[in-house]
Amino acid sequence: MLPPEKPPTLTDVARLAGVSVPTASRALNGGVRGTQSGTPELRRRVHDAARALGYSVNPAAQATKGGRARTVALLVSDIEDFGSATMISGVMHAAEKRGVSVAVRTTLDDPLRELDLLTALRGERHRAVVIATARTTDKHRERALEAQLRTLAEHGTRVVIVGDNSLGFPSVTVDNHEAARLLADSLVRSGKRRFAVLSGPTIEITSNDRVQGFLEGLSAHGIAVPASDIVSRAFSRDGGYAAVDQLAERIGELDVVAAMSDAMAVGAIAHLRELGMESPRDVEVTGFDHVPMLGDVLPRFSTVEVPLEAFGEAALSLALDDDDPEPQARVALRATPIVHGKPVARS
């Protein structure tokens, strides 16, 4: 009986393609740049050689190559949130290009759960962890988070933060303050004068930046919003719904209820409808984030288009494409105000 034929190896593929073994490995397995590893011609040669020899990659071996999984972890506050869902999509698309998978974890905006999840992630040995949860002004919470992230980094996991923060890791940010200022300015120029603001929790940096920018835009036109008309609730659909209760007695006096997220805007619109009021007929409700489905249902909806899907490409570029990113490395993205369905030009 003839001995079984030896299966082809990566060395055989490299020899047939005329490249080194590491080059063949990167072309077949992606390396840190996934489909961008090597030139198109080189990748074609290697893949042609692999097909000719009947060689296939061993996923199990690749999953733990170098003791680290071919995955990135993404932490979000709420998987059902419109903005988080769009960001998850962006991270997944960016990861697919690089030949890695995404493990999504939700903190439910619970700081203790956030720390527990990060502790568990140590054992999963991801290549990178992207933190897209709400960053806050709570110094104790942020110090505890930073300590967990330092431990992950010391064990070889890249860390990237989405949003403004002082944690000392590479980050991806967006100009929330300026975009909110421009939104308010444009609404006033369209004839609006009486405003209420629906804010997220006052300790959340993103919400604070948006509120402060919006109030600054109004102030430039001599318009002030009474403290009683700045309502802080959960940064969610339910938060927007609940916030309308505080405004219910004077809602008819307002021109605009400015929600600092589209999710809050949806809750506010739903509650107003229960009160027999429609937006924008009776009072205009605006948002922030630009969830596409809202534009489909409300074509004249005013909001701010935040490039949520672009966060994924930017975050994974910092985490996986740069061999050694500086802690202060920062990708700054630009948001676009949309007023009554039309983008606002920026100088």
Question: Checking phi first, is residue 65 left (phi over 0); if not, alpha (psi -120 to 50) or beta?
Answer: beta
Residue among 224, 261, 267, 262 nearest 246 (CA):
267
**Residue-wise pLDDT tens for the chain (347 aa)?**
444 566 778 788 888 888 887 788 777 765 544 555 667 888 888 888 888 877 776 544 554 445 567 899 999 998 877 788 889 999 999 999 888 999 999 999 899 999 999 999 888 889 999 999 989 999 999 999 999 999 999 988 999 999 999 899 999 999 999 999 999 999 999 999 999 999 999 999 999 999 999 999 999 999 999 999 999 999 899 999 999 999 988 898 999 999 999 999 999 999 999 999 999 999 999 999 987 777 778 888 999 999 988 999 999 999 988 766 677 789 999 999 999 989 998 76
pLDDT digits (tens, 9 = 90+) for 113-135: 999 999 998 888 899 999 999 89
Instruction: Name the amino acid, one letter, at 140.
Output: H
Give pairs for 208-212: CB < 8 Å, separation 24+: 208/137, 209/164, 209/176, 209/177, 209/180, 210/176, 210/177, 210/179, 210/180, 210/260, 210/288, 211/180, 211/260, 212/177, 212/180
| 176-307 shares the fold of 69-174+308-332 | yes
CATH number of 176-307: 3.40.50.2300
Domain definitions of the chain by residue range: 69-174+308-332, 176-307
Question: Which residues sit opposite 162 in a β-bridge?
Answer: 172
CATH number of 69-174+308-332: 3.40.50.2300
Question: Which residues sit opposite 339 in a β-bridge?
Answer: 342
Contact by Cβ (8 Å): 73, 125: no
Rg of the Cα atoms in the chain: 24
In sequence order, the 6+-apart residues with CB closer than 8 A to the CB of 16 are 49, 52, 53
Distance CA 27, CA 29 (A): 6
Please report, to the nearest 10 degrees, the dihedral formed by the alpha carbons of residues 290, 291, 297, 300 taken in order. Answer: 0
Strand order in the sheet with 284-286: 230-232, 195-199, 256-259, 284-286
DSSP E strands in the chain: the ranges are: 71-76, 101-106, 128-132, 158-162, 171-174, 195-199, 230-232, 256-259, 284-286, 303-305, 330-333, 336-339, 342-343
Distance CA 246, CA 229 (A): 8
